[in-house]
Amino acid sequence: TFWRRALSRKIVRVGVVSQLLVHPLKSGKALSVALAECLRTGLKFGELQDRHWMVVTEDGHMVTGRQEPRLVSLNGPSMEELKFPVKLSNNRVIDCRLFGEDIQGRDCGDAASSWLTRYLNAEKTYRLVHFEPHMKARKPCETDHCSLEVVTVRAKNMKLKCKADSWEELQIGSVRLKRVMACGRCIFTTVDPETGIITRKEPLETLKRLAHH
């Protein structure tokens, strides 16, 4: 159960956690987990940490499902299975750009690059990078707050006592979270995670309609 802490410091129940999702690859398919460790850089499940792998162009610019919707499901039926170690300490570190910020990532090798480029049928070369704790990260990771996205769903027959973007703190069990920023509705939600096809309509149109009821 998660709660909102109002200015009066009164705790109000506003919902129930229905799923914990870890996305090892940015824009990749989610892994549903029963429990996860809440770290400063996001959720961690075993060796998998949320959005610690990312696809980039050769010059280091991020590639997401907005540009390549098929990233949501890296499953090539006619392609060989790709495996590589989680830790690649001898590989080079690449300077990357993520939403206009300078970050770093360790290159995951030519085999991963070739696989992604062929799978996405890209005219340019893509590379896979992995973030490590000592590397330069996004600004939110420089704070003491966990980087975590909370997604709220508002049904037709359900009225929340307050808007989700008005919450300053959340408490989930014994874990307390402070809101860093509110995120607008993203076009990436219109990508079907099973097919990798982007419609650019649903569920955004339905959510917009519900918000006015």
Kind and range of the H or E run holding 65: none
Asked if residue 109 and residue 63 are part of one domain, the reply reads yes
Q: Which residue has the higher pLDDT, 80 or 179?
A: 80
- Number of domains, the chain: 2
At 49, which helix (H) or strand (E)? strand 48-49
Residues 174 and 119 in one domain: no
The reply to whether 89 and 39 lie within a common domain is: yes
Asked if residue 206 and residue 171 are part of one domain, the reply reads yes
- Whether 26 and 13 map to the same domain: the answer is no
Q: Helix (H, G, I), strand (E, B), or coil: what is residue 130?
A: strand
Give pLDDT, residue 155. Answer: 45
Q: Which of 103, 120, 141 is the last residue of a domain?
A: 141
The reply to whether 30 and 96 lie within a common domain is yes
More confident residue, 163 or 136: 136
CA 48 to CA 23: how far, in whole Å? 8
- What is d(CA 189, CA 29) in angstroms, rounded to the nearest whole number? 12
- Same domain for 64 and 166, yes or no, is no
Q: How far is CA 181 from the centre of its chain?
A: 15
Backbone angles phi, psi at 105, to 5 degrees: -155, 145
Give the residue from 99, 121, 141 where a domain finishes.
141
Mean pLDDT for 42-50 is 92
Specify the range with the lowest mean pLDDT, choosing from 55-64, 126-135, 151-160.
151-160
Please check whether residues 175 and 94 belong to one and the same domain: no
From the list 202, 189, 67, the residue with the least C-alpha distance to 126 is: 67
In angstroms, the CA 116 to CA 132 distance is 21
28 and 13 co-located in one domain: no
- Give the pLDDT of residue 6: 55
Residues 125 and 182 in one domain: no
Lowest mean pLDDT of 90-94, 117-121, 151-155, name the range: 151-155
Q: Quick one: 33 and 131 in the same domain?
A: yes
Q: What rounded mean pLDDT belongs to the chain?
A: 82
Say whether pLDDT at 157 is over 50. Answer: no
CA 16 from centroid of its chain's CA atoms: 20
- Check whether residue 120 and residue 32 sit in a common domain: yes
- Say which residue the tokens 């079907």 belong to: 192
Length of the chain equals 213
Q: What is the pTM of this model?
A: 0.80
pLDDT tens track for 167-213: 778 888 888 888 777 777 778 888 888 888 888 788 888 877 766 65
DSSP 8-class letter at 81:
P
Q: Which domain covers residue 134, as residue numbers? A: 22-141
Q: Which two tokens stand for residue 113?
A: 């690059």
Stretch 116-125: mean pLDDT, rounded? 90
Asked if 84 contacts 47 with a C-beta cutoff of 8 angstroms, the reply is no
